[in-house]
Structure 1
Amino acid sequence: MKFTIKTTTILFTVLTCFVSLFSNAQEIISDDSTKVAVTKVKDSATSFQTRKIDGVAAVVGDYIILDSDIDKTILELKASGASLQGVSRCQLFGKMLEDKLYAHHAVQDSIEVTDAEIRSSVDYQLQQMMAQSGKSMEELIAFYNRKSEKELREEMFEINKSERLAGEMQKKIVDELEVTPEEVREFFNKIPESERPTFGTELKVSQIVIEPEVSEENRQRAINQLKQFKADVQENGASFRSKVVLYSDDKASIATGGLYTLNRNKPRMVKEFREAAFSLQEGEISDPFETDFGFHIVYLEKIRGQEYDVRHILLIPEVSQSAVKEAREEVEKIRERIVAGDISFEDAARESSDEKETRSEGGFLINPATQDYNFELTKMDPELYGQIQDLEEAEISPIITETTRTGVMKFKIMRVTDRVNEHVADYSKDYLKIKELALNEKRFKAIEKWQDEKIMDTYIKINGEYKDCDFSGNWLKQ
């Protein structure tokens, strides 16, 4: 029993916008009865002329794939560190064909994605690219050989829109599919015993977190400093962006001058941050406000419909050594009470933990991938795995000292429970996992059926060497 889709439906997650940035805005024209790709070039007189750039590898409905697109995608995937071992040129080309087919029929089916939503994605991607590479916008433009930020953004917009349309089309195909208990049973029973999947060791993880308390004096010092920054910008014309670079404790956003793009319809950032940002008018700076990360001021730079471009400065108040000592002593006492049996781990978490997300859950961590309490050991975050790998069932860990990315120190104790060792799939014990496998198989079959039908209904032209590819789909309509 195979639990993967056809070769050409391999999910190349690294095939995102940045690997396609070398594609120009293209159209298909007729040149001696042969379709070729052309690009519009603006000359010094601001008129437009066309010139041939390279051959067309394929046409799928209203979309084209150039020979150069495939070469440059491979180069960019390698440059990004992606492994192409076992992935042939034909498989990569097949994935491109699928994406274009989905995007074409999404347009035909009137599936809509809003421009504001796409532009927000572009903003976020650019921020991430600058933060991870350490490059400025100007350096990023030069790296991708573009003339201006506008040109870079426009190309990323088109790429993102095509990808989003393809994703929405795939979602529409499988969105309403469900499996009945009988279908799950049939799916499981047809798997030979020797081929049944093995599920890795699973367990539940809980923790109690104690953070050193910040003195009122240090809190006020951070607030006063932020007030000074605001006054300097408003009264003396100082640069808010410069203040970010010089003083902000949010290291991840320093490269972008503290810039974030928020959307009223899509929550991002903590509640206090959003409320402060959405209460401002363009050019205004908020008063200092507090979040779990520290103290902030926010400058609203631009409003674009539902999108808000904001810059912020974060200051994390200094924690005294005496507060650090008190926090460690507190967690030591909590641990002693639990080990002595005076209080349960769950009750101690509800009573004393400073971590809001887990306190009400009795300290149990929620697996972000499954939204339940169970963690599969082999798929666990490496940092979390390192903290609990040596713990026996129900054992309370030694005190762990942890420092967040913003430099905040905290202490915690951890525990693992309900460990289920690696085992071959069992219908009664692993019903939910088997149900998900059965549903995935049903989704794959629905996508394959849709693809087979739409290939026959869509204008598709494959040129040159790609006619010799051994596609799993009937792209050549033979």
Structure 2
Amino acid sequence: MKLFLKNTLLTVLAVIGFVNVHAQESTKKRIDGIVGVVGNYVVLDSDIDNAFIQAKATGYDTSKYTRCEILGTLLENRLFSHQAIQDSIVILDEEINSRMDSQIDRMVEQAGSVDNVVKYYNKKSYEEFREYFFDIMKENELASRMQEKLIKEVSITPEEIRQFYNKIPKDSLPIVGDELELAEIVMKPLITKEERQAVIDKLNEIRQDVLDGSSFAGKVYMYSEDKASLQTGGFYNVDKKTQFVKEFKDVAFSLKEGEISKPFETEYGYHIIQLEKIVGKNLELRHIVMSPKPSQEALDKAKKDLDDLRIRILNKEITFSDAARQYSQQKDTKQSGGILTDRTGETRFELNKMEDRVLYSMISNLKVGEISATTLVNDASNKQQYQIVQVTNKIPQHAADFSNDYMKIRGVALKSKQNEVIGKWISETVDDTYIYINEDYQKCTFKSNWLKN
């Protein structure tokens, strides 16, 4: 999460990796040159050009940004990457390759072919392009990890949130768009013993391969269904207070250094754990999780059961909330009558900012009290299930209110505090880092003291 590069164009810059495409302006080609140096990292004039090109292609109004502002952002990214190396932050090549494969797949989808992507980046071959793009992605990942390290311990108190809100002029309060309150009912397909055993057998096979010398991290990229840890090769740093399910921690804390667990089950599927190192009360480990896949027959039955229940609700034979309590197979929402919350515990979903596009498509055109069609969705652990959703309330667009929009205000206040921490760190670190700014940019007014005036 690139908090310091979060908004508008800065998000694009973080995503595109400050790509170094040899672009043309009208009919003449720019002579590329170094415009900045941070430690061992450089910023080229073409980096700034291509940041504008990529942002404009993504739909951003680039007229709002100057070359000086873009250079400042690029310098920040280089500083994070440089310091990550100094702090011995390690990123595995397998991790970058896995992420790069996903990114290239998206590029190919947009460009139409691999050849078009290679041509766009002015490379002679796909292999040359991968080598070039690998370095870009690794630099950005180092920058991201450094920022995550800086804000890891940043927290905010209710009093700080209140003070943050009170400092905002009343006529400048952020506008919260239309919000919906939602409830769900979930039906999950039945998994047979044979389907469960097939997963256990596969995990045992993977375990034996690792014992015979294969890379555990490599197996993570091939098989694990935990998207949250895929980028780190299944790595987690765990202690007794880590918010993992009990079964997972029980197995983790029973292992010795270097040991690999046998397959075990949690609500997320079947796991194996490799304990790499014990550091005080912390465990450095990797894990793979796989879940059994239901048959088409089981999926069809789950859909029919939920379709039948939906008809009963529409016929007013049972209320949605009572049906959720009696029949829903989603334990996190069952007892509340199906009430949905986001990851912060907020019950209101701002319609135009919903991250779950499947859920958005299910409810965006519904009125209060209406129920979506029965839809096949994937849960947080990528398991298939059927879901219906009811819109229980709609809150029209309004200026942010401290009581009613507390969680949203908390998020903005926390991000502001995190940015202050990062800004202070940049100011202090710039003083101790070699910085060079080309004379063409010496008159820029930077947010940070890159000129060391």
Deviation at 1:347, TM superposition (A): 3.3
Deviations 1:201-226 (A, max 9, x none): 00112111001212334434554x44
Q: What is the aligned-residue identity percentage?
A: 25
CA, structure 1 residues 431+233, in 2 after alignment: closer, same or farther (shift >3 Å)?
closer
Are 1:249 and 1:313, in contact at CA under 8 Å, matched by a contact in 2? yes
What's 1:215 paired with?
A: 192
- Answer whether contact 1:208 1:363 (CA < 8 A) is retained: yes
- Cα distance in 1, alignment partners of residues 214 and 81 from structure 2: 43
Assess, with a 3 A threshold, how the Cα gap between structure 1 residues 446 and 331 changes in structure 2: closer, same or farther. closer
2:70 matched to 1:92? yes
Shift of residue 261 of structure 1?
Answer: 2.4
Determine the structure 2 residue equivalent to 1:188: 169
Match of 1:314 in 2: 290
Aligned-pair distance for 1:239? 6.9
The counterpart of 1:400, out of the listed 371, 375, 396, is 375
CA drift of 1:331 comes to 2.0
Q: d(CA) in 1 for partners of 2:416 and 2:210?
A: 60
Aligned partner of residue 12 in structure 1, secondary structure: helix
User: Structure 2: 5+ residue runs without aligned partners?
Assistant: 21-32, 107-125
- Looking at structure 1, the residues matched to 408 and 303 of structure 2 have their Cα atoms a distance apart, in angstroms, of 44
Higher Cα Rg, which structure: 1
Residue of structure 1 in register with 2:362 after alignment: 387
3-state DSSP class of the match of 2:326?
A: helix
| Contact in 2 for aligned 1:268/1:274 (Cα 8 Å) | no
SS in 1 for 2:346: coil
Specify which of 469, 473, 477 is matched with residue 444 of structure 2. 469
Q: Partner letter of residue 129 of structure 1?
A: M
Asked if the contact 2:180/2:391 (under 8 Å) is kept, the reply is yes
The aligned residue for residue 394 of structure 2 is 419
Cα–Cα, structure 1 residues 477 and 271, in superposed 2: closer, same or farther, change >3 Å? same
Q: Which residue of 1 aligns with 2:234?
A: 260
The one-character-per-residue Cα deviations of 1:155-209 (angstroms, maximum 9, x if unpaired) are 94x87666555566678999679557587456334x2xxx665321001121110
- TM-fit CA distance, 1:103: 9.4
Once the two structures are TM-superposed, the CA of residue 267 in structure 1 deviates from its matched residue by 5.6
> Which residue of 128, 134, 158 corresponds with 2:99?
128
CA distance in structure 2 between the aligned counterparts of 1:474 and 1:227, rounded to whole angstroms: 53
Change (3 A) 1:463 1:354: same
The question of whether the paired residues in 1 share the 8 Å contact of 2:155 and 2:414 is answered with: no
Give the corresponding residue for 2:118.
none
Unaligned runs of at least 5 residues, structure 1? 1-5, 23-53, 108-112
SS in 2 for 1:338: helix
Deviation digits for residues 378-415 of structure 1 (CA, Å, limit 9, x no counterpart) = 00132211001222212233322336699854222210
| Selected match of 1:371 from 345, 351, 354 | 345
Amino acid at match of 1:201: D
C-alpha offsets along residues 404-452 of structure 1, whole Å, 9 cap, x if unaligned?
A: 69985422221012201224x2758756389559958985996899699
Distance 1:455 1:367 in 2: 36
Corresponding residue to 1:144 among 124, 131, 147: 131
Distance 2:149 2:174 in 1: 30
For residue 119 of structure 1, what is the aligned residue in structure 2?
A: 90
Q: Is the 8 A contact 1:99 1:166 kept in 2?
A: no
Alignment of 1:64-463 (within 5 A): 66-68=42-44, 71-72=46-47, 75=50, 85-86=61-62, 87-98=65-76, 115=88, 118-119=89-90, 124-133=95-104, 143-145=130-132, 156=138, 179=160, 184-185=165-166, 187-189=168-170, 191=171, 197-220=174-197, 222-223=199-200, 225-226=201-202, 229=205, 233=209, 250=225, 259-265=233-239, 272=247, 276=251, 279-280=254-255, 286-292=261-267, 294-295=269-270, 298=272, 300=274, 303=277, 306-310=283-287, 312=288, 314=290, 316-319=292-295, 321=297, 323-368=298-343, 370-380=344-354, 381-402=356-377, 408-423=383-398, 425=399, 432=406, 439=413, 462-463=437-438
Instruction: Flag the 1:125–1:205 CA change in 2: closer, same or farther, 3 A.
Output: farther
**Equivalents in 2 of 1:319, 1:92: separation in Å?**
52
| Contact residue 56 and residue 65 of structure 1 kept, 8 A | no
State the aligned residue count: 409
Contact 1:400 1:412 in 2 (8 A): yes
With over 3 angstroms needed to count, the CA separation of the structure-2 counterparts of 1:7 and 1:283, relative to structure 1, is: closer
Work out whether residues 8 and 91 of structure 1, in 8 Å CA contact, stay in contact via their aligned partners in 2. no
CA contact (8 A) 1:7 1:91 kept: no
User: Tell me, what secondary structure is at the counterpart of 1:206?
Assistant: strand
1:40 match: none
SS at structure 1 position matched to 2:366:
coil
SS of match in other structure, 2:90: helix
CA spacing shift, 1:173–1:64, aligned 2, 3 Å: farther
Q: Which moved more, 1:301-310 or 1:446-455?
A: 446-455
Q: Do the aligned partners of residues 121 and 361 (structure 1) sit closer, same or farther apart at CA in structure 2, a change above 3 Å counting?
A: farther
- Please state whether the residue corresponding to 2:10 is helix, strand or coil: coil
Q: Provide Cα deviations, 1:270-290, integer angstroms capped at 9, x if missing partner.
A: 665665566556776543433
CA distance in 2, matches of 1:165, 1:285: 30
> Do the aligned partners of 1:401 and 1:411 also contact (CA within 8 Å) in 2?
yes
SS in 2 for 1:468: coil
- Map of 1:57 onto structure 2: 36
Name the CA distance, whole Å, in 1 between partners of 2:259 and 2:127. Answer: 29
Partner of 1:29: none
Judge which range, 465-474 or 210-219, deviates more.
Answer: 465-474
TM-score, normalised relative to structure 2: 0.64
Change (3 A) 1:448 1:341: same
Deviations for 1:127-173, whole angstroms, at most 9, x for unmatched residues?
433454479xxx98972359xx9xx79x94x8766655556667899
Cα distance between partner residues in 2 of 1:269 and 1:473: 39
Letter in 2 for 1:308: L
Q: Is the 8 A contact 1:56 1:64 kept in 2?
A: no
3-state SS of 2:191 partner: coil
TM-score by length of 1: 0.61
